[in-house]
């Protein structure tokens, strides 16, 4: 999936999940087997484990306020706030992941429910085979830099126009 959303558009993990699930159905309908490659573990997990995510509704006002709050109290302050409101979610979100902390706090404020209660795992719909690779970070970053440079040289930007 390249060039499916403009860079300035909001695109949540819930949006990704819906799009990929639709693509899986469409690809299977053609008698083919989809292959999920790359990305973060979170994006793979929401598809593979069919998490029920809270609706992708967002509040720009709440998000802006939380971003301002993050500047004044820092990531650890946001994490402490989340720990008070939803200890289970706080255990699963890295204290340095400002975006996920803000999203969890936003969800709590919008829904009035614990963020952890909004994310439930459903029985798997797909038979899956998973392969994961773990490389030392310096090696991985070097390879990623080289790969991106090569993709750009070979016309990635023209391809997405």
CA 55 – CA 12 distance, rounded (Å): 10
**By mean pLDDT, which of 96-105, 111-120, 136-145, 149-158 is the weakest?**
111-120
| 120 and 145 fall within a common domain | no
| 64 and 81 fall within a common domain | yes
46, with CB counted inside 10 A (0-12, 13-18, 19+), is buried
What pLDDT, on a 0 to 100 scale, did the predictor assign at position 148? 95
| 84 and 111 fall within a common domain | yes
- Is residue 88, in this structure, part of any structural domain at all? yes
CA 13 – CA 21 distance, rounded (Å): 12
User: What residues contact 52, with CB distance under 8 A and at least 6 apart?
Assistant: 118, 119, 120, 121, 122
Tally of structural domains, the chain: 2
- CATH number of the domain within which 19 lies: 1.10.20.140
| 66 and 96 fall within a common domain | yes
What pLDDT, on a 0 to 100 scale, did the predictor assign at position 56? 57
CA 69 – CA 113 distance, rounded (Å): 21
For residues 135-157, give the mean pLDDT. 92
Residue tagged 């998490």 (tokens): 51
What pLDDT, on a 0 to 100 scale, did the predictor assign at position 54? 63
Provide the token pair at 33.
């087997």
| 143 and 123 fall within a common domain | no
| 38 and 56 fall within a common domain | yes
Residue tagged 């970070």 (tokens): 137
| 96 and 141 fall within a common domain | no
| 51 and 116 fall within a common domain | yes
Residue 96 structural domain: 13-130
| 72 and 93 fall within a common domain | yes
| 61 and 106 fall within a common domain | yes
- Is residue 37, in this structure, part of any structural domain at all? yes
**By mean pLDDT, which of 19-33, 50-64, 78-92, 132-146 is the weakest?**
50-64
In this predicted structure, the answer to whether residue 31 has a pLDDT above a threshold of 60 is yes
What pLDDT, on a 0 to 100 scale, did the predictor assign at position 93? 93
| 105 and 62 fall within a common domain | yes
**By mean pLDDT, which of 15-24, 38-47, 48-57 is the weakest?**
48-57
Q: Is the whole-model pTM more than 0.85?
A: no
β partners of residue 120 = 52
């Amino acid at each position: 999936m390249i060039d499916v959303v403009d860079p300035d558009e909001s695109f949540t993990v819930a949006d990704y999940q819906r799009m990929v699930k639709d693509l899986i159905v469409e690809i299977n309908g053609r008698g083919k087997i989809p292959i999920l490659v790359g990305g973060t573990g979170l994006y793979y997990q929401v598809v593979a484990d069919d998490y029920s995510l809270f609706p992708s509704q967002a509040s720009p006002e709440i998000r802006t306020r939380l971003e301002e709050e993050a500047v004044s109290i820092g990531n650890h302050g946001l994490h402490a706030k989340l720990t008070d409101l939803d200890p289970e979610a706080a255990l699963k979100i890295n204290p340095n992941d400002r975006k996920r902390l803000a999203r969890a706090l936003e969800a709590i404020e919008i829904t009035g429910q614990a963020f952890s209660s909004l994310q439930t795992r459903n029985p798997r719909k797909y038979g899956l085979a998973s392969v994961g690779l773990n490389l030392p970070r310096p090696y991985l970053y070097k390879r990623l830099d080289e790969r991106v440079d090569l993709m750009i040289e070979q016309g990635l930007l023209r391809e997405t126009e």
